[in-house]
Amino acid sequence: MDAPGVSFWLAVTALVLCVAAALELFIGNRSVGALRDMPPEPDADAEKVSIVVAARNEERNIRSALQSLLELSYPDFELIVVDDRSEDYTGSILDDMAVSSPRLSVIHIDTLPDGWLGKNYALWTGSRHATGEYLLFTDADIVMEPTVVNRAMAYMKQHRLDHLAATPSMNMPTVFLGMFGASFIIAFSLFSRPWKAKDPTSPCHIGIGAFNLVRADAYRQVGGHETIRLRPDDDLKLGKILKKGGFRQDAAYAPEFLAVEWYESVSGAVKGLEKNAFSGADYNIPLVLCGTVFHTLCSIWPFAAIFLTCGVTQYMYVAVVIINILIFVDCARFHHVKAWYAVGYPLTAALFVVILLRTMILNLVQGGIYWRGTFYRLKELKGNKV
């Protein structure tokens, strides 16, 4: 009998890694709480929440997004929107809305100081004007259900948290983008392991741009966005500095209460992720390469290998494909994603790998990133370690 070849051992490796990932996701997903389990009514002694939004060239969605925030049923909140050097009608829309909305305060930024990313400076500026005991950082295109802050504050108090990140649903304009969004969630979950964020002994941390709710004094103790002023992955790194500061954090599912149109097109997703796909890996080239190898071996190659191999090797690849589909379907139920989107998983996983490699190469060749109309040198970005 011939000794097993390379294809056989690749199949063994893919199967072992896939099973390990499936178990991690299966157990982890079920240990994350959900805002739907929290009461929709606010506490009688509700503390003030300052909602801080950074907006740049958001004229397409900002009116409907902010209107949903102004209609929140939480009894004591203020809404601070910082116009970050917008070149479209964002600023005038904000000023128009502020006239009839006493809760809404608008701050216009005309120049960006050296050593800051625009969004981070905008959020930091907004936080300095906030008067609430809690700060809620959210993006300018997030649509919220009226009871979401009530539920999030109840979750914070029930679990004695200093920081809560909540997951939104993604409303994508095309089926393929919906498939890609679901694949991205799986990859992000495996990378960040949000279910570990609540474990004080684990280095895992969490932060989500759609909904980062944090105690104001905890935010200020860790230096807020000034500490992460040059981090394109500011949402995740906000969670990291809070965790390192000894504060309690957790993640919660909230797809019923938060919605975002993540990107308008595939090209928009590829372009948009240029700013943070490499920074999310802390500019670590070996880590990016390991991630691309993992996804290629476990999420892309097996779908072709079932037609290109035979015998025991083929059976193992069939098992890997089945596990991949089951992983996708299982994760979909936690994020309000259509289960049948699993049919596109190998293609969307391939797109994710392309984006990872393209972003890394582009950042290295350019020597930095272009973001919101400004170029930031890679050396400067790497210097903001947290």
Distance CA 226, CA 204 (A): 22
Distance CA 289, CA 294 (A): 9
Q: Say yes or no: 155 and 219 in one domain.
A: yes
**Residue 357: inside a domain:** yes
Q: What is the pLDDT of residues 225-249, one digit of tens each?
A: 999 999 999 999 999 999 999 999 9
Sign of the dihedral through C-alpha 266, 177, 240, 291:
negative
371 token code pair = 């973001």
Q: Say yes or no: 47 and 161 in one domain.
A: yes
Q: Say yes or no: 16 and 57 in one domain.
A: no
Q: What is the pLDDT of residues 93-110, one digit of tens each?
A: 999 999 999 999 999 999
Q: What percent of the chain is predicted at pLDDT more than 90?
A: 89
User: What is residue 99's predicted lDDT score, i.e. its pLDDT?
Assistant: 94
Cα pseudo-dihedral 313, 186, 343, 297, rounded to 10: -30
Given a contact cutoff of 8 angstroms between Cβ atoms, the answer to whether 57 and 88 are in contact is: yes
Q: Say yes or no: 338 and 351 in one domain.
A: yes
**Residue 223: inside a domain:** yes
Q: What is the pLDDT of residues 307-361, one digit of tens each?
A: 999 999 999 999 999 999 999 999 999 999 999 999 999 999 999 999 999 999 9
203 token code pair = 């280095």
DSSP annotation of 48 reads: P
How many angstroms from the chain centroid is the CA of residue 30?
A: 19
For tokens 């948290």, the residue is 161
Given a contact cutoff of 8 angstroms between Cβ atoms, the answer to whether 33 and 250 are in contact is: yes
User: What is residue 370's predicted lDDT score, i.e. its pLDDT?
Assistant: 86
**Residue 108: inside a domain:** yes
**Residue 258: inside a domain:** yes
Given a contact cutoff of 8 angstroms between Cβ atoms, the answer to whether 152 and 42 are in contact is: no
Q: Say yes or no: 259 and 302 in one domain.
A: no
Q: What CATH number is attached to the domain comprising 147?
A: 3.90.550.10
Q: What is the pLDDT of residues 110-164, one digit of tens each?
A: 999 999 999 999 999 999 999 999 999 999 999 999 999 999 999 999 999 999 9
Q: Say yes or no: 163 and 306 in one domain.
A: no
Q: Quick check: 1 pLDDT over 70?
A: no
Per-residue pLDDT, averaged over 249-259, amounts to 97
Angle CA(377)–CA(380)–CA(381) in degrees, nearest 5?
85
Note down the domain range covering 119.
32-168+208-264
Q: Which residues, in sequence order, are CB contacts of 3 under 8 Å at separation 6+? A: none
DSSP strand E in 96-183: where? Answer: 104-109, 134-139, 142-144, 163-167, 169-170
Q: Say yes or no: 96 and 13 in one domain.
A: no
User: What is residue 3's predicted lDDT score, i.e. its pLDDT?
Assistant: 53
Distance CA 25, CA 21 (A): 6
**Total H helices, total E strands in the chain:** 15, 13
Assign 3-state DSSP to the chain and report helix, strand, coil percentages, each to 5.
Answer: 55, 15, 30
How does the average pLDDT of the chain come out, rounded?
A: 94
Q: 53 phi and psi, to 5 degrees?
A: -125, 130
User: What is residue 169's predicted lDDT score, i.e. its pLDDT?
Assistant: 94
Domain boundary among 234, 264, 294: 264
Distance CA 281, CA 240 (A): 13
**Residue 198: inside a domain:** no
Question: Where is pLDDT greater, at 269 or 37?
Answer: 37
Q: Which of 62-76, 126-140, 315-329, 362-376 has the lowest mean pLDDT?
A: 362-376
Given a contact cutoff of 8 angstroms between Cβ atoms, the answer to whether 253 and 172 are in contact is: no
The model's pTM:
0.94
**Residue 114: inside a domain:** yes
User: What is residue 272's predicted lDDT score, i.e. its pLDDT?
Assistant: 86
Q: Say yes or no: 10 and 158 in one domain.
A: no
Q: Say yes or no: 66 and 129 in one domain.
A: yes
Domain boundary among 225, 240, 264: 264
Q: Which residues, in sequence order, are CB contacts of 238 under 8 Å at separation 6+? A: 137, 163, 207, 212, 214, 225, 228
Q: Say yes or no: 251 and 313 in one domain.
A: no
Q: Say yes or no: 223 and 344 in one domain.
A: no
Domain count, the chain: 2
The SS3 of residue 80 is strand
User: What is residue 379's predicted lDDT score, i.e. its pLDDT?
Assistant: 92
User: What is residue 2's predicted lDDT score, i.e. its pLDDT?
Assistant: 43
Angle CA(113)–CA(115)–CA(119) in degrees, nearest 5?
70
The SS3 of residue 335 is helix
Q: Say yes or no: 361 and 235 in one domain.
A: no
For tokens 């759609």, the residue is 210
Q: Which of 135-149, 205-219, 258-272 has the lowest mean pLDDT?
A: 258-272
